[in-house]
């Protein structure tokens, strides 16, 4: 399931990120790629161990934990330190079809996670560049994703995906992976759908409506049943 979450970062935050990133040194994106993906990856990224990447990564993590919809969709157990990349038209940048590595270790923090979900947080507005669509394949076909700056998409890390060539301008993004407390994607999707419906009922009936209280109990009991913590 693909889940888009709008306005995780404000436009002011995005502008601040871009100012800081424009002044930072970039390196070849293949430094963090696995063997297969290195063959099809052509982009640049902030060095993962650079102070800029770490500081901006912390700001992304703070924004994520303040987003109820993100927490509800991902039920995160551990989030990999966010990375930052850019695709520049002049460089012919793109990222061919690949699957992300199943396990990611961060040498600086010692964090090691199973990658259940991949996340792209867009830091360029769609009109700043042509191409650069994230294309994710699932059971229902191919999905093209290009979101407003500050919005993010969550997709199963197990899916084949690519980024089409950028033919004008520059596509800047943060990307990272997370391990969910609920490993099974189908179970996670049911919990998310239930929570979305409960939030809609709370709007209409209030939080103390007896049936809403019961459904909220079911929500927590499903997490209790499926969560690995």
Nearer to Ni ion, 41 or 223 (CB): 41
Task: Give the three-state DSSP class for 169.
Answer: strand
All residues at 6 or more sequence positions from 178 whose CB lies less than 8 Å from its CB, including other chains: 74, 76, 77, 78, 79, 80, 113, 115, 116, 117, 119
Rounded least distance, CB 171 to Ni ion, Å: 14
Q: How far is the CB of 100 from Ni ion (least distance, A)?
A: 4
Q: Measured from the CB atom, is 53 or 157 closer to Ni ion?
A: 157
The CB-nearest residue to Ni ion is: 100
CA angle (62 as vertex; 56, 64 as ends), nearest 5: 105
Residues that bind Ni ion (CB under 5 A): 100
What would the two tokens of residue 125 be?
A: 């507005």
Q: Measured from the CB atom, is 160 or 213 closer to Ni ion?
A: 160
How open is the CA angle 12-63-46, to the nearest 5 degrees?
75
Rounded Cα gap, residues 82 and 63, in angstroms: 12
Q: Which residues contact 152 (CB under 8 A, 6 or more apart)?
A: 4, 5, 8, 70, 119, 120, 121, 122
Residue numbers belonging to the annotated binding site for 2-oxoglutarate: 171
Local structure of residue 44 (DSSP, 8 states): E
* Radius of gyration, CA atoms only, the chain: 18
Binding residues: 98, 100, 161, 171
Q: Measured from the CB of residue 133, what is the shortest distance to Ni ion in angstroms?
A: 14
Q: Residues within the annotated binding site for Fe cation?
A: 98, 100, 161
Q: Which is nearer to Ni ion, 36 or 109 (CB)?
A: 36
Shortest distance, position 34 Cβ to Ni ion, whole Å: 9
Minimum CB separation of residue 140 from Ni ion in Å reads 19
């Amino acid at each position: 399931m693909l889940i888009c979450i709008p306005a995780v970062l404000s436009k002011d935050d995005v502008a601040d990120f871009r100012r800081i990133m424009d002044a930072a040194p970039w390196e070849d994106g293949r430094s963090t790629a696995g063997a297969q993906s290195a063959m099809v990856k052509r982009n640049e990224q902030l060095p993962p161990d650079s102070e800029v990447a770490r500081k901006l990564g912390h700001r992304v993590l703070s924004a994520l934990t303040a987003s109820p919809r993100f927490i509800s969709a991902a039920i995160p157990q551990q989030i990999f330190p966010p990375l930052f990349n850019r695709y520049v038209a002049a460089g012919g940048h793109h990222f061919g079809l690949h699957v992300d590595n199943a396990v990611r270790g961060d040498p600086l923090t010692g964090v090691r996670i199973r990658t259940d979900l991949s996340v792209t947080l867009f830091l360029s507005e769609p009109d700043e560049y042509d191409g650069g669509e994230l294309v994710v394949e699932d059971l229902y076909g191919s999905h093209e994703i290009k979101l407003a700056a500050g919005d993010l998409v969550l997709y199963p890390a197990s899916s084949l995906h690519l980024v089409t060539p950028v033919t004008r301008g520059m596509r800047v993004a943060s990307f990272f992976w997370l391990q969910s407390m609920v490993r099974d994607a189908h179970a996670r999707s049911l919990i998310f759908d239930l929570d979305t419906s409960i939030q809609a009922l709370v709007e209409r009936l209030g939080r103390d409506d007896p049936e809403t209280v019961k459904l909220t109990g079911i929500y927590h009991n499903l997490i209790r049943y499926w969560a690995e913590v």
